[in-house]
Amino acid sequence: MEPITPAAEAKKVMLSGIQPSGNLHLGNYLGAVKNWAELADQFDCYYFMADLHSITVRQDPKALRARTLELLALYIACGLDPEKNTLFIQSHVHEHAELAWVLNCYTMFGELSRMTQFKDKSAKNSDNINAGLFAYPALMAADILLYQPDFVPVGQDQKQHCELTRDIAIRFNNLYGSTFKVPEPYIPKVGARVMSLSTPTSKMSKSDPNGCVFLMDTPEDISRKFKRAVTDSDTENCVRYAPAEKPGVANLMSIYSSVTGKTFEEIEKEFDGMGYGKFKPAVGDAVVETLRPIREEAQRILADKAYLQQVYTDGAQRATYVARKTLRKVYKKVGFIEKPF
Ligand code: ATP
Ligand code: LTN
């Protein structure tokens, strides 16, 4: 990810979302939200809770409502200032569902069949491979294209969906003339793929709670998870960055680097001659201290339901204004009669 220098005149637009289908974890934070918070002054930013996406997998309605608000509180606690960023709930802006329908008709069966997230999720939910799970990327394309963003900041796993969004936008523009801006994914260099602490060859994911550090975990839980983190079965017992041979150590080094800002060489020097027994708790301590203020602030915000409601109401109003403009343009281009009221 190269540093982006936006033009001084018009602020460039950024947009991203996270599904409120589980609690936010360190992968979501380091791969996504932490980087978003740093972009607010330079860009016009939209971030949302992707509740429409989350029902592609069965959810408990009460838990979904609670997690949607918790995610909003965490966005704010991670540094997304609602005055500077438009924070909203996806289902409050019905243009997302409407544009998704249109884009479904410009997205090919073959393209959707090739999506790795669809293949992974249908393998995990073999009793519920529904049409929404399959058409998920067309909804994601709608989320993005409605706001005409320049960049979509996501972790590595969402790159394929962003590329399909570009293909859909280009296809539509070729048929009807320039309608959508073709956005670029914006993927961080460090933290783009935080791996599981228990299986360092798979990405950290809420579906593997043992290897996953949640932002709302207690300091004790975080320390325990890091002490038990799988390192490598080499006899070297030395902190050295070698992702192919030592994926567990490389993952812990990346996490430590992301939370402290230290380079891999500095980390190797700091732990020279100490072995994994000293290294693992030190990474745990650094993560505990990074997450402590976030957890405390999120708890404080969550207790203030009136404030949260104010934030998502303002956010939905601002988002609707932009989304409506794009949808109107699309409806006109495909040949729908303009609504007279
Ligand atoms: P699941 O566990 O169901 O795969 P998830 O934990 O990946 O879900 P999402 O809502 O799909 O959560 O992801 C939200 C954002 O966090 C996306 O931008 C995604 O790229 C990023 N992200 C998710 N997991 C990681 C990870 N392990 N490392 C870095 N970024 C991640
Ligand atoms: N598919 C994403 C969440 C998501 C998203 C988006 C991200 C839904 N719509 C639009 C960026 C832009 C995920 O599972 N992480």
Give pLDDT tens digits for 236-262. Answer: 788 999 998 999 999 999 999 999 999
Q: Return the pLDDT at 249.
A: 95
Q: Return the pLDDT at 5.
A: 59
Closest C-alpha among 23, 65, 88, 50 to residue 291? 23
Q: Return the pLDDT at 86.
A: 98
Which residues of the chain are modeled with pLDDT < 50?
A: none
Token pair of 104 as six digits: 């479904």
* Burial class of residue 241, CB neighbours in 10 A (0-12, 13-18, 19+): middle
C-beta 103 within 6 A of ligand 1:
no
DSSP-derived 3-state class of residue 151: strand
pLDDT tens-place string over residues 174-233: 999 999 999 999 987 777 789 999 999 999 998 888 899 999 999 999 999 999 999 877
- The active-site residue out of 34, 203, 225, 280 is 203
What pTM, to 2 d.p., does this model score? 0.91
Which ligand sits closest to the CA of 16? Answer: 2
List all residues whose CB is within 6 A of at least one atom of ligand 2.
Answer: 15-19, 50, 53, 140, 143-144, 152, 154, 158, 161
Count the Cβ atoms, other than its own, within 10 Å of residue 264.
Answer: 16
Number of alpha helices (DSSP H) and beta strands (DSSP E) in the chain: 14, 5
Query: Tokens 């249908």 correspond to what residue?
Result: 122
The question of whether 206 is a catalytic residue gets the answer yes
Q: How many residues does the chain have?
A: 341
Q: Return the pLDDT at 192.
A: 78
Q: Return the pLDDT at 9.
A: 61
Which ligand sits closest to the CA of 211? Answer: 1
Residue type, 262: K
What's the CA-to-centroid distance between 152 and ligand 1, angstroms? Answer: 14
Contact in structure between 125 and 54 (CB atoms under 8 Å): no
Closest C-alpha among 243, 166, 262, 141 to residue 200? 243
- Facing residues of 45 across strands? 14, 85
- The active-site residue out of 121, 225, 246, 280 is 121
C-beta 158 within 6 A of ligand 1:
yes
Count the Cβ atoms, other than its own, within 10 Å of residue 40.
Answer: 17
Contact in structure between 281 and 227 (CB atoms under 8 Å): yes
Q: Return the pLDDT at 2.
A: 55
